[in-house]
């Protein structure tokens, strides 16, 4: 590829082993000078921004963020760090955490990705309640805003918790569709009524964020309890009319085991915190009724 710049590769390579007693090649000198200027500009800008922040205390949000790192001295004892983040209208807790990390402390660790409440990776304990960081407006919260990892899960570092137990429970309910028979043609659909789709719709919205499990007192005291998310996942299939009776019975058998639906004490905390508004407690109650009905048949 041709370029308009006369700089050659040899000059570029020379920079790595530059001997400062030797005069620099003009192009290289020019580049070093530009680099230094650019750095001075950036430092100046950072100073200016910091000064602006200091002048506008009213427009900052005070975050108290949980910190812990098993490997790093000084973070092995859990503590809270304070961050003062400049506030802009519409700012969410996740926005503030990102600002704090990118500006003040790059070791601040939390999961996040889609920032639109669909990947489910940034469920946190914010001002004493399980919420998605990306979906929580700072303007709705009292200050200082306390940000902690999800309770009842092992903390790996800062706001990151171990999700393995949650995933294990989700996968324990055989969470996959299993119709009795498929249509003959590979282009034929298994028709489903609009009503039936509507029936399972809310249950399909789960984003596996773990907020419900974290809020559930029963799950906290009993590691074997399937928990609201997994039971909701089972509901999604048990209520789908396209799966046959045998399969439904098999699903109910899983759900009425010792640590299934009967452990739920209808405290509604899962339903309260669900960021996708899934009526989890209702789904669990409905499955209890189904389980009773199916057992009555055999008596």
Partner 1 sequence: MYEHDVIVVGAGGAGLRAAIAAQEEGADVAIVSKLHPVRSHTGAAEGGINAALREGDSWQDHAYDTMKGSDYLGDAPAIETLCQDSPKEVIQLEHWGMAFSRDDDGRVSQRPFGGLSFPRTTYAGAETGHQLLHTMYEQLVKRGITVYDEWYVSDLAVTDEERPEDRTCHGVVAHDIQSGELSGFRATEGVILATGGLGQVFSHTTNAVANTGDGVAMAYRAGVPIEDMEFIQFHPTTLPSTGVLITEGVRGEGGILYNEDGERFMFEHGYANNDGELASRDVVSRAELTEVNEGRGIDDEYVHLDMRHLGEDRIIDRLENIVHLSKDFEGVDPLDEPMPVKPGQHYAMGGIETDENGETCVGGLYAAGECACASVHGSNRLGGNALPELIVFGKRAGAHAAGKDLGTAEIETGQRGEYELGEVDTPVQPGEVEPAGGEGDAVADGGVAADTGSGDGRDIVERAVVRERERVQSLMEKEDGLQHAEIRSDVQESMTRWVNVFREEDGLKQALEDIAEARERYQDVFVKDPSRTFNTDLIQTLETRNILDLAEAITLGALARDEFRGAHWRAEHQERRDDEWLKHTMLSWNDGTPELWYKPAILEGEDKKYEPKTRSY
Residues 212-251, interacting with partner 1 (CB under 8 A): 237, 240, 242
Q: Report the largest interatomic distance among the alpha carbons of the chain, rounded to a whole angstrom.
A: 98
Interface pick for partner 1 out of 19, 55, 142, 188 (rule CB under 8 A):
188
Distance CA 75, CA 77 (A): 5
Distance CA 154, CA 163 (A): 8
> Smallest gap, in angstroms, from Cβ of residue 44 to partner 1?
14
Sheet of 145-148: strand order equals: 79-86, 60-67, 145-148, 123-126, 129-132
**DSSP structural state of residue 134:** G
> Smallest gap, in angstroms, from Cβ of residue 164 to partner 1?
10
For tokens 């419900």, the residue is: 212
The answer to the question of residue 24 lying near partner 1 (CB under 8 A) is no
> Smallest gap, in angstroms, from Cβ of residue 295 to partner 1?
26
Binding mask 138-157 for partner 1 (x = CB under 8 A): ------------------xx
The span of 58-66, 163-171, 222-230, 255-263 binding partner 1 (CB under 8 A) equals 163-171
Return the number of the residue (27 or 218) whose C-beta is nearest partner 1: 27
Backbone torsions φ then ψ of 180, nearest 5 degrees: -60, -50
Distance CA 256, CA 287 (A): 9
Distance CA 292, CA 240 (A): 19
The answer to the question of residue 109 lying near partner 1 (CB under 8 A) is yes
The span of 35-43, 50-58, 141-149, 266-274 binding partner 1 (CB under 8 A) equals 35-43
> Smallest gap, in angstroms, from Cβ of residue 106 to partner 1?
4
Return the number of the residue (135 or 146) whose C-beta is nearest partner 1: 135
């Amino acid at each position: 590829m041709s370029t308009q710049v006369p700089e050659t590769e040899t000059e570029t390579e020379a920079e790595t082993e530059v001997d400062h007693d030797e005069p620099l090649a003009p192009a290289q000198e020019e580049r070093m000078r530009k680099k230094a200027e650019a750095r001075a500009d950036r430092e100046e800008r950072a100073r200016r921004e910091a000064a602006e922040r200091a002048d506008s205390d009213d427009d900052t949000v005070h975050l108290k963020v949980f910190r812990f790192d098993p490997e790093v001295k000084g973070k092995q004892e859990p503590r809270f760090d304070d961050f003062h983040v400049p506030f802009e209208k519409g700012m969410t807790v996740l926005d503030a955490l990102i600002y704090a990390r990118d500006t003040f402390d790059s070791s601040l660790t939390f999961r996040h990705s889609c920032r639109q409440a669909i990947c489910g990776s940034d469920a946190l304990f914010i001002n004493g309640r399980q919420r998605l960081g990306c979906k929580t407006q700072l303007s709705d919260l009292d200050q200082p805003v306390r940000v902690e990892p999800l309770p009842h899960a092992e903390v790996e570092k800062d706001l990151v918790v171990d999700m393995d137990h949650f995933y294990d429970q989700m996968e324990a309910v055989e969470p996959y569709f299993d119709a009795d028979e498929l249509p003959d043609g590979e282009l034929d659909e298994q028709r489903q009524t609009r009503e039936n789709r509507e029936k399972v719709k809310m249950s399909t919205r789960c984003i596996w964020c773990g907020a419900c499990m974290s809020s559930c007192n029963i799950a906290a005291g009993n590691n074997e309890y399937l928990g609201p998310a997994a039971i909701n996942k089972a509901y999604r299939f048990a209520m789908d009319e396209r799966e046959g009776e045998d399969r439904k019975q098999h699903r109910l058998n899983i759900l009425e085991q010792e640590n299934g639906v009967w452990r739920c004490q209808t405290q509604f905390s899962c339903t309260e915190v669900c960021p996708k508004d899934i009526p989890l407690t209702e789904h669990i109650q409905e499955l209890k009724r189904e389980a009773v009905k199916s057992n009555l048949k055999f008596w």
